[in-house]
Structure 1
Amino acid sequence: MRQNPQKAGRLRPVDLARRHGLSTQAVRNYEAAGILPAAGRTPHGYRTYTPRHAHALATFLALIPGHGHGTATSIMRAVNQDEREEAFRLVDESHAQLLEDRRTLHAVERALRDLGPVPGDGSGPGGMFVGPLAGKLGIRPATLRKWEHAGLVTPRRDPRTGYRVYDGTDVRDAALAHQLRRGGYRLEQIAPLIAQVRAAGGLEPLAAALRDWHARLAARGRAMLAGAAELDAYLRERDGPAPARDPHRTPGT
């Protein structure tokens, strides 16, 4: 009588795939990428997985919401290669980025507390030229010109030189655009916000965006906690007794 592979502690690619709504090809791709440990093989060359592989897949999927697909892949690859220091470094970097994003949000909120025009302190009378403003924000002049094309800033032209001159309001709008870009907002999302700020002259137009930003950071932090719990459990499992070696697996397969 043929033995059920799941009762023997073996799982087929389709068994892992069905649990998470994936394709069997995705499972094979995850193994090839090092997200899963190398699979065993049947005498006929078919892949067989174990509960450890299932746990590795669940851990990877739990890491994605907080760390992103690329970082989650690198973390799992490091763990499966017993490079735990590298895995911990990657986790730490994600947490550091989340903290930086929180600081960016707080910086945006501080910047928005005073929406009045800021005095120009640049190279032209009554405003800043493109180079000094770009340097002040830590961006390229080409970025400011791109923002102008998108309607985020509306500098005037110096009548004598034809150079762009950014007045206090333009400097404020450029600073807000810069902070919102760092927060992950696209130009097409920022343009209407700045247009409303100009028209309304207050914080209210950005209130919904800031609430959404807070919510996204909170969700990411919570997802990191869930991913950490799953990763810790997977590490504990790997620290336990190793699963029995598949006698049918040939070296290098």
Structure 2
Amino acid sequence: MKKLTFHLTNKMKIFFGVVALLACVVGGSYAWFTDSKETTKNFTIGTLKVTNTIQTPADSTDYEPGEEVEMKGAVSNAGRIPSITRIDNVTQVKAIYADDNKTPIAAADRRFVEAPKSVLNYKFGPVSGDYFDNEGAYWFGDSQGQVYLLMDPQTNVDVKINASFSNTMGNQYQGANFKLGEKADSTQVLEGSVKDTFGISLNDLVPLENSTDTMGVQRSSHSANAQKALHHLKELAEK
């Protein structure tokens, strides 16, 4: 009896090789060395809590050109993150004359409107008059004459507003009724929040300095204190 002999062609060899490979893939599995680690960290969002107790005078009549009205109070940062505050003048006036010629306004048409800043100017600052005597408080100004108070958390500052009536206010304001008002806006010491709240950049802020001491002599420590304030501002902005 003759023996049967099979000869595999190249195509057949390739076919059986593919079948064997598929059998290994489908029927077998690989074990890789692996490792994983999951970590968690608790954190708390900081709080911004700024209050002010500045009192406006109850009597809002009979002011005169050149007169100054002082309003005192305190600004406090009871939160857990630094804050920066600006006080804006929101005084209103109801005039009885339309112009300096004393043209009368009909009684039915008289109403309170925003008082021109040229008529009434606000100056915001510390009660002591010293920009550097309160630890955790830093005073800045901008090119528009606005004043800003930067406070570290848990800082309280006694402040005042000096409201000055212009010497040049004309006859239009004779007999006018004024409502002295202030608006305090506060935000975080961050570039974006300062720009959105006040319309300025942190780079626009310049440390305020005391010009003279009680004897009218320039203090040598002012520049150092101002540099400290500026350094603190930049340090907070970079966090």
Q: State the TM-score bracket (shorter-chain normalisation).
A: under 0.3
Greater Rg over alpha carbons, structure = 2
TM-score (norm: length of structure 2)? 0.20
Indicate the structure with greater strand content: 2
Give the number of the structure whose residues are more often helix, by fraction: 1
